[in-house]
Amino acid sequence: MCAWGMAAIAPGATAASNCHGTVNRGSIEGSVQLPPEGANFTAYSPVAVAMRRNHVHSEVSAIILEAYAKLELAAPKAQYVYGETGNEYGGRFRPHRTHQNGLSVDFFVPVHGRDGLPARLPTPATQHFGYDIEFDRTARYGEYSIDFTAMAEHLYQLDQAARARGRGIAQVIFDTAYLPRLFATPRGAALKKLNFMKGKPWVRHDEHYHVDFAVPCLK
């Protein structure tokens, strides 16, 4: 940090984002757009990417990409899909109640297909980009079933990547009925330390998990 309280920017490096307010009421300057795909992940929709609905704080982007890189070894077959994040400048992001300052990210659940192998959950525009999908009590939707081990590994790697940058995870929202299955995976014990929302959120979080990252914002 220089005397003016601004992070020094190395030549060629991306400038850091500045978030304001809270996830419920906020904005962001200098946000970055997540890549549409990588070795083991894709965005939920090319249409939504074209609408630039996948902007985040630069620190959140770094955490997400580091976690995906680690997952290439930790969960080599899993196919991850990220969902809505936020607008370029933050602010109201319908239909979400949060996602306003670059620190909220939705992730679609990794799944197994009919053959029991890792698959990509389809998230077509006709189903509100996947948000209309409903998994049943046994965590199944058609031929797909939630891969709790791959999901737990993802949350674990996000937490590790956030900590490595001096950040953290403020809150995770996921259907509380599924939490015992998440905690029963190899990473379950570590995940119990995260702050999972206990009450009922305003929409069921069965096909996706919502993560708010802990990054300091300006007023």
**Binding to Zn ion by residue 106, rule CB under 5 A?**
yes
Residue 33 burial by Cβ neighbours in a 10 Å radius (0-12, 13-18, 19+): middle
| Residue type, position 91, single letter | G
Tokens 């590790």 sit on residue? 160
Return the residues of window 21-60 that contact Zn ion according to CB under 5 A. Answer: none
Dihedral pair phi/psi, residue 118, rounded to 5°: -55, 140
Site string for Zn ion, 136-155 (x = CB under 5 A): --------------------
Strand pairing category for 144-146 and 140-141: antiparallel
| Min CB(52)–Zn ion separation in Å | 17
Q: 3-class SS at 165? A: coil
Question: Which residue, judged by CB position, is nearest to Zn ion in the bound state?
Answer: 210
Return the residues of window 196-215 that contact Zn ion according to CB under 5 A. Answer: 210
- Of 34-42, 43-51, 100-108, 179-187, which part binds Zn ion (CB under 5 A)? 100-108
- Of 4-12, 42-50, 103-111, 135-143, which part binds Zn ion (CB under 5 A)? 103-111
- What does the block give as tokens for 187? 């990473």
Contact positions toward Zn ion, by CB under 5 A?
Answer: 106, 210
